[in-house]
A and B are shown apart, each in its own frame.
Chain A
């Protein structure tokens, strides 16, 4: 069974702090994704990666960056956290090629509060 692990379940950070959200998957999946989920807005794609050191912007990349130095790990970075980045962050992975649109397997989420 695929396991996607997010390092923190809950995080509270101050405005202006640099925040790292870590995600690790154990199925040797090529593709990894970061979403945020907000009430009424659904899941919105921030960034995705289809290979080590590769990254693609999603729908809402502003204020975020990512790092994929190893295949199993995909990090989301908030360079200077702001209150409008308070959200549930979900990491996901999928196998096969990116254009095959294989189903995503999600981690259990990180609920980030920026005060």
Chain B
């Protein structure tokens, strides 16, 4: 089983849509979880951390389900500028972070 798995997409959605990305991780001892955003030919940038109780930042909501080893990201009222690749990240066993391969989102007018 891959350490962090995501649906690669692409997700093609109209502006204003709500879109959800899911991710599973294999290390049951992971303590840290993040979502990163990566624009084409740019470096990944931290979008938000994911907390056990779930957390929200404007139009973005992240959820963690430890029992199922599952992380999600919900984007409401999507904008054209949300078009990017979203990387799911979980803490690894060596103290490093393990990145998923990313889910590509394309928001269309």
Contact B34 A108 (CB under 8 A): no
**A43 CA / B87 CA spacing, docked (Å):** 10
| Interface stretch (choices A12-20, A70-78, A96-104) | A96-104
B94 within 8 A of partner (CB): yes
Report the bound CA distance from A84 to B31 in whole Å. Answer: 34
Closest Cβ–Cβ distance, residue A34 to chain B (whole Å): 11
A48 CA to B95 CA, complexed, in Å: 10
Judging by beta carbons under 8 Å apart, are B43 and A58 in contact?
Answer: no
Beta-carbon contacts under 8 Å, B17-54 to A: 30-32, 34, 42-46, 49
Given contact pairs A102-B32, A106-B45, A42 touches B95 in the complex (Cβ within 8 A):
no
Chain A residues lying within 8 Å of B76, measured Cβ to Cβ, are none
Q: Classify chain A's interface size.
A: 20 to 34
Are B101 and A42 closer than 8 Å at their CB atoms? yes
Is the beta-carbon distance between A101 and B101 smaller than 8 angstroms? no
Q: Does A69 sit within 8 A of B, measured CB to CB?
A: no
A42 in contact with B100 (CB, 8 Å): yes
How many chain B residues touch A (CB < 8 A): the figure is 21
Q: Do B43 and A107 have beta carbons less than 8 Å apart?
A: yes
Secondary structure of the B contact surface, majority rule: loop
- B43: chain A residues at CB < 8 Å are 90, 106-109
Cα distance A101–B97 in the bound complex, in angstroms: 6
The complex places the Cα of A74 from the Cα of B45 at a distance, in Å, of 20
Alpha-carbon distance between A33 and B96 when the two chains are bound, in angstroms: 9
**Interchain CB contact under 8 A, A42 and B32:** no
Give Cα A46–Cα B34 distance, bound, in whole angstroms. 20
Report the Cα distance A103→B17, complex, angstroms: 29
Contacts of B31 in A (CB 8 A): 101
A-side contacts of B97, CB under 8 Å: 101, 103-104
9 further interface pairs, Cβ-Cβ under 8 Å (given A45-B96, A98-B95, A99-B95): A42-B100, A43-B44, A50-B95, A98-B96, A103-B34, A103-B46, A107-B43, A108-B43, A109-B42
